[in-house]
């Protein structure tokens, strides 16, 4: 099973700023090449899941309806690029709520895998792409391979203070997608598939 989990703010769309949220469709702006990245992954046969903490809803900063509208813009943008997002999973709880779906916990990752018939064991072959330590921790906690992108909230200077390290670092989601596809092309699973198709 080919699966990529992707954080939203700072990876797909521009990071709104520390302590801020994307609260309206008009403030939701795609990072250059992010839609092209999703198309690369779609064409390569990946299930793409967006996994995002959106505590602004739980705090009353913006509504579920506004979040739904923003999500529709995300799906529409992907569709225009020829990409398909398999699912979007948000945790709208506050950090103090102890929700199992709030990154770095893995509830939404496991829920996403289950939606396509996968299990937690399938996370070992999956990738998590994010722009913060919390994203990388979530990926590691689920057993995924991780890619830290430098187009969002945190950078290499932040990373020096982390107590974990990502498996890979990429400039943005587009470079992350190319890296993932290239590495999976060399995966024994795919080499075996190509060999059987060539017989």
pTM, full prediction: 0.92
Pull the structure tokens for residue 47. Answer: 């299930």
Q: Where do the domains of the chain lie?
A: 3-198
| Active-site residue (options: 7, 122, 172, 184) | 7
Q: How many CA atoms, within 13 angstroms, populate the side-chain half-sphere of residue 67? A: 20
* Between 185 and 18, the higher pLDDT residue: 18
The pLDDT of 183-188, averaged and rounded, is 74
| Active-site residue (options: 9, 122, 135, 184) | 9
- The band of 130, judged by pLDDT with boundaries at 50, 70 and 90, is very high
Q: Considering all CA atoms of the chain, what is the largest pairwise distance in Å, rounded to the nearest integer?
A: 59
Q: Tokens 């709104």 identify what position?
A: 16
Residue 99 CA to its chain's centroid (Å)? 19
190 part of the active site: no
Rounded Cα–Cα distance for residues 129 and 194 (Å): 26
27 part of the active site: no
The pLDDT of 108-126, averaged and rounded, is 95
Superfamily of domain 3-198: HAD superfamily/HAD-like (3.40.50.1000)
Percent of the chain with pLDDT over 90: 88
pLDDT of res. 189: 54
Q: Cβ(107)–Cβ(142) under 8 Å?
A: no
**What's the mean pLDDT when you consider all of the chain?**
93
């Amino acid at each position: 099973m080919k699966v990529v989990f992707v954080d939203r703010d700072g990876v797909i769309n521009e990071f709104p700023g520390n302590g801020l949220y994307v609260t309206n469709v008009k403030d939701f702006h795609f990072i250059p090449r992010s839609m092209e990245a999703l198309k690369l992954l779609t064409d390569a046969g990946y299930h793409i899941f967006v996994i995002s903490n959106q505590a602004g809803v739980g705090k009353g900063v913006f509504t579920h309806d506004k979040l739904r509208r923003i999500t529709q813009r995300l799906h529409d943008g992907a569709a225009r690029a020829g990409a398909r997002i398999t699912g979007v999973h948000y945790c709208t709880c506050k950090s103090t709520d102890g929700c199992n779906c709030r990154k770095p916990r893995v509830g939404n990752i496991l829920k996403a895998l289950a939606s396509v018939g996968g299990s937690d064991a399938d996370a070992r072959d999956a990738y998590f792409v994010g722009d913060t330590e919390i994203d990388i921790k979530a990926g590691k906690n689920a057993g995924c391979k991780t890619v830290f992108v430098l187009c969002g909230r945190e950078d290499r200077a932040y990373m020096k203070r982390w107590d974990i390290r990502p498996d890979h670092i990429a400039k943005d989601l587009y470079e992350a997608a190319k890296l993932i596809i290239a590495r999976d092309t060399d995966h024994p699973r795919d080499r075996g598939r190509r060999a059987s198709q060539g017989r």
